[in-house]
Amino acid sequence: MTNNRQQSVFSLAVIVAALGYFVDIYDLLLFSIIRIPSLRSFGLNDDQIAKDGLFIINIQMLGLLVGGILWGVLGDKKGRLKVLFASIILYSLGNIANGFVQDVNQYALVRFITGIGLAGELGAGITLVTELLPKEKRGIGTSFVAGIGLTGAVFAFFMKQLFVQPDNTGWRTCYFIGGGLGFLLLLLRVSVLESGMFKSIEKAEISKGNFFMLFSNKTRFRKYLTSILIGLPNWYVIGILITFSKEFGTKMNVQGIVDPGKSVMVSYAAISVGDILIGFVSKWLKSRKKALYIFYVISALGVLWFFNLNGASLTELYMACALLGFGTGFWAIFVTMAAEQFGTNIRATVATTVPNMVRGSLNLVSLLFAWLQVKTGNYLQAGWTTGIVVLVIGVTSVFLSDETYHKDLDYLEGVPA
């Protein structure tokens, strides 16, 4: 098989993948950032904003789940670049459409469609980068992609500050900007070359993008399931603690009114730093798993601090959000680790479905959180209990996973050597 890889971490493919993920994260987190003013413009009260906001974000994550399977399979069958082009077009059109919604149901429907589009960006980009870079640079390259990309949430916050007005108008402009950035990204994609590994098997008569292959073998299923569960703490932090930091802050009598958009901005700025750093930590330790354990400990400390903010200042809450963000800055490594565990003929399927299965699992985490609220009658207890459950699941999944730092990726899955 051909092993034609670009050697530089700063190659065009890596830079464009990073910019693509920047736009992806801008669009993905935009709803969380402008949730309150956009829903308030529909005439909703605070309780409705909390309830309908959770509904919309869950519908968006469902779209990501559907899109993850769709784009993953197509990425292995048709190529990494074709998926990138198609997914960018869909989520760009979706964001423009978001600027015209008039009620909660329309909002949820368009976020579902946009979610399908957003699902293709990271997995296809990470697959392309892992196949182009040598194994000693893979972790740093994908960390660079995530670190740069995650600052898209910071940019989204500043767009909210710039355009959203006190009377809750202007939020639609933020969506139009996201759509425009997506179409600009298409121009950059034109110069990026397809993965040599994929091109070497493109015409081969082998099974490519067979999603069900992940369930037909116990070892593959174990690797796939643990790859997904490793990422649960990330979206517990973002989808529950950060997105609903205003509600948590109110319950803990934090001094002042929490701006969830600022919580997202602060946490994602820290996630960006963490995602870049973890690549170097993994290289230094020559281990994906040891790096993940370190960041899980930091995440646990962040959760502990967050739920001990009774009567704290806004500054302290935002600092806790930053620590939570830094601790969950393992997004790139966990997706890279998933990609490294499977052969070229199914790698895009895994790398695209795994992060979107994690995003989609927010629905299950939210159900657990909501059930615990009813069971305990305590919003805060439900929050930290949910955190303990997902952290235990995450750590156990890392323990059960294979170390992939030194693994050569030039092989096929389910095909005799």
pLDDT digits over 304-356, tens only? 999 999 999 999 999 999 999 999 999 888 888 998 888 878 887 888 888 88
Q: Residue 406 falls within a domain, yes or no?
A: no
Rounded Cα distance between 401 and 141, Å, is: 22
Give the structural domain span for 332.
12-191+213-400
Q: Residue 7 falls within a domain, yes or no?
A: no
pLDDT score of 194 more than 70:
no
pLDDT score of 265 more than 80:
yes
pLDDT band, very low/low/confident/very high, at 196 (cuts 50, 70, 90): low
The residue-averaged pLDDT of 100-123 equals 91
Whichever domain contains 114, its CATH number is 1.20.1250.20
pLDDT band, very low/low/confident/very high, at 5 (cuts 50, 70, 90): very low
Q: Residue 203 falls within a domain, yes or no?
A: no
Q: What percent of the chain has pLDDT over 90?
A: 48
Q: Residue 201 falls within a domain, yes or no?
A: no
Q: Residue 389 falls within a domain, yes or no?
A: yes
pLDDT score of 230 more than 80:
yes
pLDDT digits over 15-49, tens only? 888 888 888 889 988 998 899 999 999 999 988 99
pLDDT at 415: 60
pLDDT at 127: 77
Give the residue, 9 or 348, on which the prediction is more confident: 348
Q: Residue 388 falls within a domain, yes or no?
A: yes
pLDDT digits over 385-404, tens only? 999 999 999 999 999 999 98
Domains held by the chain: number: 1
pLDDT at 320: 97
Nearest alpha carbon to residue 192 among 41, 54, 12: 12
Residues 6 or more apart in contact with residue 335 via CB below 8 angstroms: 122, 123, 126, 142, 146, 231, 351, 354, 355
Q: Residue 206 falls within a domain, yes or no?
A: no
pLDDT digits over 132-152, tens only? 777 777 888 888 888 888 888
Average pLDDT, the chain: 86
pLDDT score of 121 more than 80:
no
Q: Residue 262 falls within a domain, yes or no?
A: yes
**Does the global pTM surpass 0.75?**
yes
pLDDT at 2: 42
Highest-confidence segment of 26-40, 93-107, 256-270: 93-107
